[in-house]
Amino acid sequence: MKGGERVAVCAGSFDPVHNGHLDIFARCRSIFDRVVIAVLHNDAKKPLFTVDERVEMIREQVERYEDCRVEAFSGLLVDFMGEVGATTIVRGLRAVSDFEYEFQMALMNRRLDLAVETVFMMPKEEYSYLSSRLVKEVFFLGGDLRGLVPQAVLERMAVEREAREEAKR
């Protein structure tokens, strides 16, 4: 961290990134000097996209912002934060149902590193029901996701769907 700079880490799986995430990144930029988007390397969860693909898709969306960078991480989030000089985690909070999981993570992260604080931000109402899990489900069942997911991400998902269908043949 450069002297006095406020650095936030937006951490998540982002499998894939959707407009609710982009909305939170934008809100974050209005409060913090720098935003590090930290993409979890979580092969055990069998993600749709590799961590490199997820990082690349987010970079495409934020490359015009000099105050944003996108990095993959594995291991403890608090350790990654030490490496990038951040003490604030920003998480989007959509509904009460998110609260318990987020509350547990926030307190555990603070227990792991007393300097770490978690800040919650609410996305635009129109994205308040959106999750990567639902995006994948609706996409693979043929639903229309325009306006909820960046076009470039939808195109990658279509390529992935084609590859999966090809593998089945």
108 vs 121 by CB, closer to ligand PNS:
108
First-residue to last-residue Cα distance in the chain: 52
Residue 167 CB, nearest approach to ligand PNS (Å)? 26
Give the Cα separation of 24 and 122 in Å (integer).
7
- Which C-beta is closer to ligand PNS: that of 24 or that of 145? 24
Catalytic annotation present for 45: yes
Q: Indicate the angle between helix axes 51-62 and 19-29, nearest 10 degrees.
A: 60
Which window, 64-72, 103-111, 147-155, 158-166, contacts ligand PNS (CB under 6 A)? 103-111
Q: Does 105 bind ligand PNS (CB under 6 A)?
A: yes
- 131 noted as active-site residue: no
Closest CB to ligand PNS: residue number? 12
β-partners of residue 90 are 10, 119
Q: Which of residues 134-163 bind ligand PNS (CB under 6 A)?
A: none
Among 77, 86, 130, 149, binds ligand PNS (CB under 6 A): 77
Options 31, 76, 115, 158; binder of ligand PNS; rule CB under 6 A: 76
User: Is 168 an annotated catalytic residue?
Assistant: no
Distance CA 151, CA 42 (A): 24
C-beta of 111 vs 164, nearer to ligand PNS:
111
Q: How many residues bind ligand PNS (CB under 6 A)?
A: 9
The catalytic residue positions are: 21, 45, 94, 132
Contact positions toward ligand PNS, by CB under 6 A? 11-13, 40, 76-77, 105, 108-109
